[in-house]
Structure 1
Amino acid sequence: MIRAAAIVLCLAVSGTAEAQDAGERARAAAVALERAAEDLAVADRASDRVAALTDTIRAYEDGLVAMRDGLRDAAIREAGLRRDLAARETEVAELLSALQSLGRSDVTQQLLHPDGPVGAARAGMLVASVTPGLAARALALRADLEEVEDLRILQENAAETLRDGLQGVQEARAALSQAVADRTDLPQRFTEDPVKTAILIGATETLDGFASGLAEITEGETAPETGATLAKGDLALPASGQILRRAGEEDAAGVARPGIVLATAPGALVTTPAAATVRYRGPLLDYGLVIILEPRADLLFVFAGLDTVYGETGQVLPAGAPVGLMAGGAEDTSVLQPNSGGGNARPETLYIEVREGDRPVDPLDWFATDKG
């Protein structure tokens, strides 16, 4: 009994804070998704439906990411607790045996000791000093078991919340596509000449050549006046995600490009970081669907790899306006699979290039992100 008490007194309940945090993020994310659903219900009545739906989709995306991360942490925490409890099975058995032994002992038995009254007194003092430690460890064990059960229930109940969130963000994306198509209040700097654009695409083999030739297909059009105030280094990235590859880094095929590659969630919304004129939108070379924005003269933002592109060439978009969606949103159901732990689905990749004058520059000079 004394050995068991020594063991349990050495094991602190330092996991309590971690225990409380493991599920809180998932619970907070569930609340955020509920609020996003409320926002979606009122977005259709907003004076600017495009802006309202853009904000709603962002809220859904943030909530879904937080929910996945919270569920992953909860699953990791639960698995850790189960392993810990299994590894301490002998210790737990000794603890329970000691507590049961204390509970069965009556006063007469406690006074009988081979060494007489002095031995009995010493044994009583030892038991009195050990008992609080046993009780504390028993409470900690109970808390661990209750936490395992709470985390299991949390993960089971989260499936419905995630399903509703995925459905809600799909509805918001569909509504946004319709709202963008219905929009008629955007200024138009110029009208694209499709023949000249087709000739330019056919005559160029690189993004360099295409970007350099853009000015020629907008003959007579002056530098765009978007009213944009550009704070170099402080612009938000066009989509939520993590930097997968930096400028000049080679990809798996050994190809190095001057832009960065951003890993995004499937179906992620892509927005313009600043007010800008749409210089080009459509398929281009091996870049997939591309949109090229000009926030000011001699500055181009190139976003490539989209699945859907919004806007028309020549339109002037306000800052934060949607310009497209990444692929995969409709199939993003991996979080609903058993034992997924809330893990993210396979990410999509957005290529971002920034060109000043006739040359590319490091996009991280313009965008605010973790450059460490």
Structure 2
Amino acid sequence: MKFPAVLAALTLSAQLAHAEIDAASAARAAAEKLESASLSLAKAKSSRNQVKALTQTIQAYEEGLASLREGLRRAAIRESQLDQQLKSKEGEIARLLGVLQAVGRTQSPTMLLHPEGPEGTVRAGMILADVTPAMDGEAAKLRDLLIEVRILRELQQGAADTLGEGLSGAQDARIALAKAISDRTDLPKRFTEDPVQTALLIASTETLEGFASGLTEMSPEPEGISPLPDISHRKGSLPLPVQAEVLRRPGEADAAGLVRPGLVLATRPNALVTSPAAATIRYRGPLLDFGNVMVLEPQPGLLFVIAGLHTVYGEVGQVVASGAPVGLMGGNDPTTDAILSQSSEGTGQDRTETLYIEVRQGKTPINPEDWFQTDKDG
């Protein structure tokens, strides 16, 4: 039997186990986040500032669910790696276990006998004394790998209830948020919309660029409210309005060869969209083929155009705070079975919705990455 080959293989497996991130711990930490979000939801319903509290609760749910999905995905990948490692070494592991079992069954007097006499007995005893601790050590590492596999499987089996409760809690929080926003009466207004002017602009518009330019020309006089503070110092540091990944950057063509000056983001269904800065709502509603559009003006002449929402919150002319909810993405939350299935396949393709962000200074489009944090080097 070639002990060095067996020992080297199992040592490599053990090294891989230590090099991997502890997926089980990550998923458990995510479950704790969901539990915390559940407690926050109960408090938010009785909070004086319900909109703010519910916004934070939904974000906590989204973060917890995202972390749990990622933890399950990593757990599934890790389990697959362990299974492959163990299957590839089945023969060598069986021989190693056979030797360990044989050593364990051998009686001490028999071990003292050797065909070559006393010298052979001493030599065999020294070899066995050297090899046995190494075999015991590698057997312990193998046992650790098997325990890790069991823990990962238990984690995935127990995740269904946690996922189901998290998805349900997030939906309850969205419903409560919509009601709180509809009941809200304390937002300041900078102007009152002229619906006829807006309707005429929409009717004469064929592009998002044309609509944004026309909106700039329609800048109304504020009703006795001081201008919003300049946010130029925040350039490059604004958070994206939604938890998302960048699909296409400005100037990158889509599948049809169309090039736009904005960012295309991939989001999860029903994701909460918030205002990246204190801003006046200049427009909210359906536009062209962009779905619902929210146009925010954080300072005179600067527009953040957010297109592709399913639901929009607020009224034109209202001033919303930084981080205030302005809408929800469309789509349907995946079922628990679908999430677990994706995890078992080692995939994380759950960002099925797209949001488009354009930044305009006057009539000129500006690279949104000059304003927003997008991990340009990622």
TM over 0.5: yes
Residues 163 and 336 in structure 2, CA contact (< 8 A), matched pair in contact too? no
Q: Identical aligned pairs, as a percentage? A: 54
SS state at 1:46 partner: coil
In 2, the alpha carbon distance for the partners of 1:177 and 1:98 equals 67
User: Would you say 1:227 and 2:229 are equivalent positions?
Assistant: yes
Please, which of 297, 300, 303 is the counterpart of residue 297 of structure 1? 300
**Paired position in structure 2 for 1:333:** 335
In 2, the alpha carbon distance for the partners of 1:135 and 1:220 equals 81
**Paired position in structure 2 for 1:364:** 369
- TM-score (norm: length of structure 1): 0.95
Residues 260 and 352 in structure 1, CA contact (< 8 A), matched pair in contact too? yes
SS state at 1:339 partner: helix
In 2, the alpha carbon distance for the partners of 1:171 and 1:228 equals 36
Kindly state the Cα deviation for residue 340 of structure 1 after the two structures are TM-superposed: 2.9
Residues 310 and 324 in structure 1, CA contact (< 8 A), matched pair in contact too? yes
**Paired position in structure 2 for 1:115:** 116
In 2, the alpha carbon distance for the partners of 1:17 and 1:220 equals 63
SS state at 2:282 partner: strand
Write the letter of the residue equivalent to 1:352: I
**Paired position in structure 1 for 2:43:** 42
In 2, the alpha carbon distance for the partners of 1:215 and 1:122 equals 93
Please, which of 337, 343, 354 is the counterpart of residue 359 of structure 2? 354
**Within-5 A mapping of 1:100-139:** 100-139=101-140
SS state at 2:255 partner: coil
Kindly state the Cα deviation for residue 46 of structure 1 after the two structures are TM-superposed: 1.3
In 2, the alpha carbon distance for the partners of 1:65 and 1:298 equals 36
Kindly state the Cα deviation for residue 41 of structure 1 after the two structures are TM-superposed: 0.6
Residues 231 and 299 in structure 2, CA contact (< 8 A), matched pair in contact too? no
Question: Structure 1, residues 201-243: CA drift from partner, whole Å, max 9, x if none?
Answer: 1112122221121144454448972235441111111011111
**Paired position in structure 2 for 1:266:** 269
Q: 1:228 to 1:324 in 2, by over 3 A?
A: farther
Kindly state the Cα deviation for residue 332 of structure 1 after the two structures are TM-superposed: 2.2
User: Would you say 1:145 and 2:143 are equivalent positions?
Assistant: no
In 1, the alpha carbon distance for the partners of 2:139 and 2:149 equals 16
SS state at 1:191 partner: coil
**Unpaired runs of at least 5, structure 1:** none
Question: Structure 1, residues 163-193: CA drift from partner, whole Å, max 9, x if none?
Answer: 0000000001111111111110000111111
Aligned length: 370
In 1, the alpha carbon distance for the partners of 2:349 and 2:69 equals 7
Give the superposed CA RMSD. 1.8
In 1, the alpha carbon distance for the partners of 2:277 and 2:337 equals 33
Kindly state the Cα deviation for residue 15 of structure 1 after the two structures are TM-superposed: 3.0
Residues 190 and 221 in structure 1, CA contact (< 8 A), matched pair in contact too? yes
**Paired position in structure 1 for 2:250:** 247
Kindly state the Cα deviation for residue 345 of structure 1 after the two structures are TM-superposed: 2.4
**Paired position in structure 2 for 1:11:** 10
- TM-score (norm: length of structure 2): 0.93
